[in-house]
Amino acid sequence: MTAPTQLTRRQILQTASLLGISAASLSISSDAAAAENPEQSLSPQSGLVTKQLKPLKYEEIPGLLTKSQVTPHYQAHYGGALKRFITLDQQLDTLYKGKEPLGGDAYALMQKDKVNRMNSVLLHELYFDGLTPKPGDPLADIRTALANRFGSLDRWMEDFKACCLAANGWGILARDLVNGQLYNVASDLHEIGVLWLGQPLVVCDVYEHAFYVDYQNRKPEYVNKFVQFLDWAEINRRWNVLK
């Protein structure tokens, strides 16, 4: 029997962040985690690390999203999730250091909300960073990977768009760390429909708040345009980080 491939420390950290698990809980020092090369992260300078909003690369994407659409999405939904996560993280840290019993309805809600908000922060960062006003062609590495898995780039795109239309929250292209395969995933909530050891490469926010200002209820139009403005250089970088 072939021995399973051992996960690297970087892969463990990245996967833990998707699951709402802190580096401290994995017995990895925060100093060592901070020393990681930012470019070797799925989301360099993530708000989960800096506790600050990650800067946008653009104010609008002509042909896809207006500034009136991008600004409230970035500030209220991404920013709101980050603010709530920081508050919850601080409250839980205080509870951990105390002597009161850990339990009860309020505690359970905090734990669930923590994972929801943490995933929301990361997925929003991957969404915003994965788009560009000046899209190029897919680079050879990721194009080859998609063709090997789905038959062709066009076939992957067809399946990805179908997943986006099926989802109420997120359409995601992710690589599974267990078998190394690529999967398109339809997720209805930040913490529902995920691959437990999946690391996202392409993320499309299909909550109505992501497109309603510009498209109202024309979700298919938004999804069809979304794939035309992918930042393939960033997606290829993520692919090589995972490799």
pLDDT tens digits for range 7-46: 454 444 444 444 443 333 333 333 334 345 666 788 889 9
In a domain, 196, yes or no: yes
Cβ neighbours, 10 Å, residue 105: 7
CB-based contacts of 137, cutoff 8 Å, min separation 6:
232
Cβ neighbours, 10 Å, residue 12: 16
- Domain of 190: which CATH number? 3.55.40.20
Average pLDDT value for residue range 226-233: 97
What confidence score (pLDDT) does residue 197 get? 76
Higher pLDDT, 192 or 113: 113
Are 232 and 136 spatial neighbours (Cβ–Cβ below 8 Å)? yes
Closest CA to 47 of 18, 79, 9: 79
Cβ neighbours, 10 Å, residue 57: 13
**Token pair recorded at residue 138:** 């897919």
Query: CA neighbours within 13 Å on the CB side: how many for 113?
Result: 18
In a domain, 215, yes or no: yes
In a domain, 95, yes or no: no
The boundaries of the domain holding residue 205 are 140-242
Q: How many domains in the chain?
A: 1
CB-based contacts of 160, cutoff 8 Å, min separation 6:
171, 173, 184, 202, 204, 227
Give me the phi and psi of 221, to 5 degrees please: -65, -45
DSSP state of 59: S
What confidence score (pLDDT) does residue 99 get? 86
Q: Residue 192 and residue 123: Cα distance in Å, rounded? A: 13
In a domain, 28, yes or no: no
Average pLDDT value for residue range 59-70: 98
Q: What is the dihedral of CA 122, 124, 125, 131, to 10 degrees?
A: 140
What confidence score (pLDDT) does residue 33 get? 43
pTM of the model: 0.83
Cβ neighbours, 10 Å, residue 187: 24
In a domain, 131, yes or no: no
In a domain, 179, yes or no: yes
In a domain, 159, yes or no: yes
Tell whether the model's pLDDT for residue 189 goes beyond 70.
yes
pLDDT tens digits for range 158-171: 999 999 999 999 99
Q: Residue 21 and residue 24: Cα distance in Å, rounded? A: 8
